[in-house]
Structure 1
Amino acid sequence: MKQVLKLTEGTGATIMSIKPDKKERSPNDVDRLVGRNVRRLRTERGLTLVDLSAALKISHQQLQKYETGANRLSAGMISNLSEALSVPIETLFVRPGQPARGRSRSQSGALDALRQQGLFCLERTRSESTLQKMVDILKILASKP
């Protein structure tokens, strides 16, 4: 962190302001990784930039900047993205080819992605009767070998 000092005669040095260096505020590799994962998850769910940005209450341009790694993501925004995409926060930090924490590569892959997509669809359903039909269908399918 860069400190700007003002020297005054007889009183010593006083701090006028503390400003982070430009480099410290620039997006880093983690911001870019999270942005790529947000874009991947958004497109897997069939959401447009406008759809997801509306859910987050931000402009689609701002969401695009997050996805491309042009802007840094705050902890609050990461939490909001996790909720809007119906994924655990750690999913946003997974590198390509890296299994989710505590799982083997075979357990995490395609099945986890499908479960997340299914959960996303269930959570977006607003009609109780439609949700009940979805649950009934899933119960029938789950009972088959």
Structure 2
Amino acid sequence: MKHPVDVHVGKRVRHRRWTLGMTQQQLAEKVGIKFQQIQKYETGMNRVSASRLWDIAEALDVSVGFFFEGMEEEAADRPADPTSPMVDLLSDKEALELVRSYYAIPENQRRRLFELARVLSEAA
């Protein structure tokens, strides 16, 4: 059975990797392991050791603490029924691609796009 902390850490690894536009293979090469192991970490199937998490943090240019950010909020938001579906934007590849594209837009245009999105969502 997957431990919630391992799942959270795996999601944070995947989120950071996607944000950087890095593949599992590229991360695995930087860390010195096979990409299948990265897959297992990202799904929470395998627990990441402290030394491996340190290596991953260096490869993704974040502190080790980054992988635990949001744990308290996630635990508080977790529904009483563990089978209830929860929307997790960090695991949605399309959402992360949208965020990456959004931040590639120059700031003044990005603000205008943000305002447009807000108006459209209010009208919906």
Q: TM-score range with shorter-chain normalisation?
A: 0.5 to 0.7
Q: CA RMSD in A?
A: 1.8
Distance 1:96 1:30, change over 3 A: closer
Aligned mate of 2:58, from 83, 99, 104: 83
- Unaligned stretches of 5+ residues in structure 2: 74-124
- Unaligned stretches of 5+ residues in structure 1: 1-25, 99-145
Distance 1:96 1:28, change over 3 A: closer
Aligned mate of 2:3, from 28, 37, 40: 28
Larger radius of gyration: 1
SS in 1 for 2:46: coil
**Hey, what does 1:64 align to over in structure 2?**
39
Structure 1 Cα separation of the partners of residues 53 and 5 of structure 2: 12
Letter in 1 for 2:44: G
Please report the TM-score for the alignment, with normalisation by the length of structure 2.
0.55
Instruction: Work out which structure has the larger RCO, using CA pairs closer than 8 Å and 6 or more positions apart in sequence.
Output: 2
Structure 1 Cα separation of the partners of residues 11 and 23 of structure 2: 15
Runs of 4+ deviating beyond 4 Å: none
Aligned mate of 1:42, from 1, 9, 17: 17
Count of residues paired in the alignment: 73
Offset from partner CA, 1:8-47 (integer Å, 9 cap, x none):
xxxxxxxxxxxxxxxxxx6411111110000000000000
Letter in 1 for 2:33: I
Distance 1:46 1:78, change over 3 A: same
Please report the TM-score for the alignment, with normalisation by the length of structure 1.
0.47
Does 78-87 or 89-98 show the bigger shift?
A: 89-98
Structure 1 Cα separation of the partners of residues 47 and 71 of structure 2: 20
Offset from partner CA, 1:95-126 (integer Å, 9 cap, x none):
2796xxxxxxxxxxxxxxxxxxxxxxxxxxxx
Please list, as runs of the form range in 1=range in 2, the aligned pairs for 1:1-145 lying within 5 A after superposition.
27-95=2-70
Distance 1:73 1:43, change over 3 A: same
